[in-house]
Chain A
C-alpha cells in the first residue's frame, strides 16, 4: 500500500553539523494494517512521517502510495490521501474558530473552496452525531471556540477531523504523548475504534511499548535511521519488546503506560 524505496535524507548538508538520517532506507506497509514505529528521539521517526506527508523532501528515493509515485506532490496535495494527527493538539485545529467551523472546514477537505457560505445548517445534525461518537459532550459545544477546549478534547477533535474524509493512510505522530494517562488511553481507544470501523491503514509513532503491543498489527523499531526490529504483533511479548527497547539505550525516552 505504502512503499518507501531507497530514501536518503541528510540534514544541514555541507556543514560541519551534517547528519545523515536515512541512507538507502526501505519500508513497505500493508493495506488496512496498523503499524507502530518505536525508537529513541533522533532515530528518524518524525523525519519519516515528514517525508511521507511531504513536509520534507528527500535527496534520493521515492514514496509510493497505492502504486502511485507521490514524490512530486506537495504537502497540501498529498492531503487528499494522507491524514495526520500531531503531538500538539492545536496543530490539527484552528483554535480561534468554533467546533462547528472547524468540522465544516474538514468536511470540505480537498474540495474546491469558494465564496459560498461555509456553515451549512442542514449538516449540523450529522456533525452532532459524529461528535457524539467521541463521548465528550462536544456535540453540545458546537459554538465554543476550540481554544477553550482541553488538550484531550482538542486532540479528539483533531483525530475526528483528520479521519472525517477517510484518508488512505493515517499518520499518528505521538498523538497521545502530550496528554495525561487517562485522556491518553481514552484517545487511543477512540483512535482504535475509528481505524477499525473505517479500516484505515495507519502508522503510529509511539514511545509507549504497551500501546504498540495493544493496538498494532506490526511493530517496527528504528535506530539511527535503520529498521532494527520488524515483528508481527503476537510474535513478541511486551517483556521481550521492552528488553530490546532498553538494550538499544532507549531508556531515556521509554515511557510505559500507567
Chain B
C-alpha cells in the first residue's frame, strides 16, 4: 500500500475510536457534547504523564481511558445537576480541560519519541486493528445488554425509561463517561502514533468525529444490518482517506480543516436532499 494511504488508514483507525465515543453521545443520547475537544488532548497528556513516569504503555493507555471518563462526569454534573444547557456544559468542560491539560505535564507539547509505546512490538496497523476490534466488539456487546438498551431508550424517549422505573440521568452519566473515556483513549493512541502530545491536537476534533459518523451513515444508509460502531469505523477511515487524496492532489495540510467542514456540509446536505427510496419502502411495508 502507498505509504500515504497506509498512514491515512492508520489515522482513520485511531479516529474511529473517537468516532465511536462521539457516536454514543451524538447518535445514541442525542447530546451534542463538545467536551471531547478537551478530552482528546487530555487522554494524550495523561498518557504522556504516565509513560514519562515509567509506567508501561498498555497501563498508561488504559489509565487515559479511565481518567478520560471523568471528563464525562464533569459535563454530566454541569448539565444534569447544575442545569446548564448541554452545549454550554460541554464547552465549559472543554475550557476547564484546556488549563488542566497544560498542568498535567507543565508544558503544551511533550515529545514521546524516546519512550516506549504500544506500537513497539508489532506493525502499527496490526496493533490498531486489534484495539479497534476489541473496542467495537465490547461496545456492540454492551449495547445488547439491559443497560445498553436503556441507554438507547434514554436517547429515544425519556418518558418510556421513567415508566420502566428507571432514572434517565443514570444512563446519561454512563453514556457521557463511556464516550469521554473512548475519546481520551483515542487521544492516547494518537499521541503514541505521532510521537508527541500537543495542546492543539483537540482543536475542531469534534468536526472530525461528526464527519466520520455522518459519512458512515450516508454511505451505508440503506443497510439496516450494519451497526453504528461499524459505520463509525468505516466513516473515520473514509474521512482520512478523503483527506489523504486531497493532499495528494496538491492541497496544503493547513487546508484540511476547511475540507473537513466541507465534507460534513456535503454529506449532511446529501442526507437531507436525496430521495431515499429504500427507507420509504420499508416504512410502507411496516405501516401495512
By a beta-carbon cutoff of 8 Å, the part of chain A in contact with chain B is: 74-77, 79-80, 83-84, 86, 90-97, 101, 104-106, 108-111, 113-119, 137, 141, 144-145, 148-150, 153, 162
Contacts and interface: CB of A to CB of B under 8 A. Distances in A.
A97 B164 contact: no
B156 A97 contact: yes
A91 B158 CA distance: 9
B146 A114 contact: yes
A123 B146 CA distance: 15
B159 A91 contact: yes
Interface residues of B, number: 27
Nearest to B155: A96
Given A76-B166, A94-B153, A105-B160, 20 more contacts: A76-B161, A76-B165, A79-B163, A79-B164, A79-B165, A93-B157, A95-B157, A97-B153, A105-B149, A105-B164, A110-B164, A111-B165, A113-B164, A114-B146, A115-B142, A115-B145, A117-B145, A117-B146, A148-B283, A149-B286
Interface string B251-288: 00000000000000000000000000000001101111
Q: Which 3 interchain pairs have the tightest Cβ spacing?
A: A148-B286, A110-B165, A113-B146
A79 B149 contact: no
B157 A75 contact: no
B162 interface: yes
Nearest to A80: B165
A219 to B, nearest CB: 27
B148 A118 contact: yes
**Residue among B144, B157, B165 with most chain A CB within 10 A:** B165
A150 to B, nearest CB: 5
25 contacts: A76-B163, A93-B157, A96-B152, A104-B149, A105-B150, A105-B153, A105-B160, A105-B164, A108-B164, A109-B163, A114-B147, A115-B142, A115-B145, A115-B147, A116-B145, A118-B144, A118-B145, A137-B288, A141-B286, A145-B286, A148-B282, A148-B286, A149-B287, A150-B286, A153-B287
